[in-house]
Structure 1
Amino acid sequence: MTTAIIANLEKLLDGPRDGALLRYSLGNEWLKAEQWEQAAARFREAVDKDPKYSAAWKLLGKALAEGGRPAEALAAYRQGITVAEGRGDVQAAKEMTVFARRLEKLLQSPDTGPDQT
């Protein structure tokens, strides 16, 4: 079902309905399909179109983290926290703060793989 939704949404790109919400919706569908790069690209486009879209920042961070790009994910979460706090979106800021802290711990860990102790 997700691929059909993606195809339908992509038909709307560059049309009169194209905007941050459409890009966000596409990113969300790519996220469901576990296609992290495509999801991240669409979420980036969403925040380019609306830099104050805190939900898009949050899912951009998630797509980047799931795609194995923790430093970029952390940067997205930090930007998203700033945006969310500026908009008074307390819940989104709290959620991204939790995700950011997890990534900070991951990035500070001396372990580079599961075999190291």
Structure 2
Amino acid sequence: MEGMTERLEAMLGKGTDNMLLRFSLGKAYAEQGAFGKAEVHLRAALAFDPTYSVAWKWLGKACLGLGDKPGARAAWESGLRAAQARGDQQVVKELQVFIKRLDKEAAAGA
């Protein structure tokens, strides 16, 4: 996986910058646990296309990884609106589950 992030970073360094590249970097960094880097790239991806619900999903995961539960909730709520607008039912379901989990943790005082 690390080789992939290096290749993607090299593309970015050569001046390629678009939603898919930024999303791919953000997702790869989140999967590696590099949540700070993931957040930067996912926010950049969303600047290109704020309706890309899957990027909101991963941004929420990155925020959660950084201990930012309000940020995660905000990202997932934005993603939920985007997914509903696009008719992306799978992402709608996933984000509803993530938000419910946050609510349960908050209610339990976690």
In the comparison of the two structures, how many residue pairs are matched? 110
SS in 2 for 1:52: coil
SS in 1 for 2:84: helix
Choose 1 or 2 for highest CA Rg.
1
Q: Does 1:62 align with 2:61?
A: yes
Structure 2 stretches of 5 or more lacking a match?
A: none
Q: In the alignment, residue 6 of structure 1 is paired with which amino acid? A: T
Q: Which whole-Å deviations, capped at 9, do the CAs of 1:58-117 have from their partners, x for residues lacking one?
A: 111111112211110000000000000000001101100110111122234334xxxxxx
Q: In the alignment, residue 9 of structure 1 is paired with which amino acid? A: L
Residues 14 and 4 of structure 1, relative CA distance in 2, 3 Å threshold: closer
Q: In the alignment, residue 11 of structure 2 is paired with which amino acid? A: L
In structure 2, the residue matched to 1:9 is 8
Give the aligned CA root-mean-square deviation in angstroms: 1.6
**Distance of 1:50 and 1:85 partners within structure 2:** 15
Q: Percent identity at matched positions?
A: 37
The 5 A counterparts of 1:1-117 are 2-13=1-12, 17-111=16-110
**Distance of 1:51 and 1:94 partners within structure 2:** 19
Q: Shift of the alpha carbon at 1:43?
A: 0.9
**Distance of 1:12 and 1:108 partners within structure 2:** 44
Structure 1 stretches of 5 or more lacking a match?
A: 112-117
